[in-house]
Amino acid sequence: MNSTMGLILSGWKKPELKELSYIRSVSAIPFGGKYRAIDFVLSNMVNSGVKNVGVLTQYSFRSLLDHLGSGKEWDLDRRYDGLFIFPPSLAGDDSGWYRGSADAMYNNLSFLKRSNEEFVVISQGNGIFKMQMDDMLEYHIKVNADITLAYRKMYDYRPVDLSRMGIIKLDENSRVVDLQEKPLHPQSDLGSIGLYMIRRTLLISLLEECIAHGEYDLVKDILIKKLEQIGVYGYEFKGYWRNISSVQNYYRCSMDMLNPEIRRELFIDNGKIYTKVKDEAPAKYNEEAEVRNAIVADGCFIEGTVENSILFRGVTVAKGAVVRNSIVMQGTVIEQNASIDYVILDKDVVLTKGKYLKGDSEYPVVISKNSVV
C-alpha cells in the first residue's frame, strides 16, 4: 500500500445525531470508551501501510483538530507525507466553503496533485470497522476497475437503516450497475460502506470535470452519473461494519462493543486501533463497586453499580449510583444514589445526587456536554 494515499471525508451535517454532533464533526464522536470515530478508518489506513492521509473537514471541526494534532499517535508525524488536515478556507473571492464531497476534494486539488502515490483510497470518517485495505487494492488492480467501491451484505440491518445508505446492484462480474443513494425502498441489502479505491490521476480528472459542470457531490454527481461510462466494481467487505449516523445506531453500535467477538475483531486481531492518548492512572474500584459486562477506561473511579455500559476515561460513579445500559463519556460524574438506564451522557456532565434518568433502548436519552442535571 506504499502506492496508496488516503482521503477521509470527515462528514457533513447529521441532524439525526442530535446533541452528539452539535458541537463536533461526526468523525469526532467519542466511541468505545477512549476513541473517536475517525480512529478506526485512520488506523485501518495506517495498518495497511498508507503514509499520506488528508482529512477534509467542514462542520465543527475544532474537536477533530484537537484530536488529530500532528498525527503522531497514528505514526503519521512524518518528515515526508504524514497527516494533513483541510478545513474549508475562505479565499479572496469568498469561495472555499465546501459545497459537497467532490468540491471538498477539488478545493484541495493541489494536495492530490503534489502527492506521488498511484492510488487514492477515499473513505468516510464515521465507520466503525477493521479492514485490511491491501486486499481491496489487490482486487482493484486485478479486475482493472476504474473505481472500486467497498460494499457489505447488510443482513444485520433493518430496512429503515438501509434506506439511509447507498444501495448497490451488481452484475455477474461484480460491476456496479445501479447505485441508489438513500432509497426509500431499498432493492437489495448490498450497502456501500463509503470506501472507494481509485487511481489518483483519474480522480483528479473526474473532479475537474464534475466541478466544471457545476456539480459537487462524489456519490451523486460522479459515481451515479458515470456508472455506465466508467467501470465501478464492488468489493465485498465481510467484517463488522457500522456507520455512526443517528443516536439510535450510535447507541446500538456502542453496545456491540460489549460482544467479545466484535471486540476481538476490532481491537485485537490484524492491527491496533490508535487514538490520542491521555495520561490517566488505571481505573480504581472501591469496596462497593459492582461492575458487570462493562467497558471501563483508565482514570475511572467506581464505587457504585455498573452494568451493560461503557465508561470513558475519568468517569466517576459514586456510592449507591447505578449505571445500566448506558454510555458515559469522559470526565462525567455520577453522584451518590443517582441512577441512569438507557442514557448517553456526553463529556463533563454532572448528574447530581439522587437523580434518575431513564430512556429506552430505541430512544436513549442524550444529555449534552457540560450539562448539570
Partner 1 sequence: MTKKSIIALLLAGGQGSRLGILTKKAAKPAVLFGGKYRIIDFSLSNCTNSGIDTVGVLTQYQPLKLNNHIGIGKPWDMDRMHGGVTILSPYIKESSAEWYKGTANAISQNIDYVDKQDPEYVIILSGDHIYKMDYSNMLDYHIKNNAEATISVIDVSYEEASRYGIMNANEDGKIVEFEEKPKNPKSTLASMGVYIFTWSVLREYLLRDESMQDSDHDFGKDIIPSMLEEGRRLWAYKFVGYWKDVGTIQAFWESNMDLTKRVPEFNLYDPAWKIYTPNPVKPPHYVGSNGSIKTSVIAEGCMIYGSVRNSVIFPGVIIKAGTLVENSIIMSNTQINEDCRIDHCIVGENSEIGRNVEIGLGVNVPNEHKPGIYFSGITVVGDRAEIPDGTRIGKNVMIDMFALHEDFYGCDIASGSSVYKGGVCE
Q: Contact residues for partner 1 (CB under 8 A)?
A: 32-34, 258, 260, 263, 267, 272-274, 277-279, 281-299, 301, 310-313
Could you give the C-alpha distances from 274 to 41, 44, 48, 146, in angstroms and in order?
10, 9, 13, 31
Closest CB 47 distance from partner 1, rounded Å? 11
Triad 178, 182, 183: Cα angle to 5°: 65
The DSSP secondary-structure symbol of 273 reads: P
Cβ distance to partner 1 smaller for residue 215 or 348: 348
Could you give the C-alpha distances from 310 to 126, 147, 275, in angstroms and in order?
19, 38, 17
Residues contacting 160, CB < 8 A, separation 6+: none
Closest CB 245 distance from partner 1, rounded Å? 23
Residues contacting 114, CB < 8 A, separation 6+: none
Cβ count near 115 (within 10 Å): 16
Of residues 85, 8, 2, the one with CA closest to residue 39 = 8
Closest CB 137 distance from partner 1, rounded Å? 25
Cβ distance to partner 1 smaller for residue 88 or 127: 127
Cα separation, 300 vs 236, whole angstroms: 39
Cβ distance to partner 1 smaller for residue 160 or 277: 277
Cβ distance to partner 1 smaller for residue 30 or 127: 30
Closest CB 345 distance from partner 1, rounded Å? 16
Sign of CA dihedral 346, 26, 86, 266: positive
Cβ distance to partner 1 smaller for residue 130 or 369: 130
Cβ distance to partner 1 smaller for residue 251 or 274: 274
Strands 301-302 and 316-317: parallel
Cβ distance to partner 1 smaller for residue 13 or 292: 292
Query: Maximum Cα–Cα distance for the chain, whole Å?
Result: 67
Closest CB 309 distance from partner 1, rounded Å? 10
Closest CB 291 distance from partner 1, rounded Å? 5
Cβ distance to partner 1 smaller for residue 36 or 140: 36
Closest CB 274 distance from partner 1, rounded Å? 6
The DSSP line for 154-184 is -TTS-HHHHTTSEEEEE-TTSBEEEEEES-S
Closest CB 360 distance from partner 1, rounded Å? 22
Could you give the C-alpha distances from 69 to 61, 76, 274, in angstroms and in order?
12, 10, 13
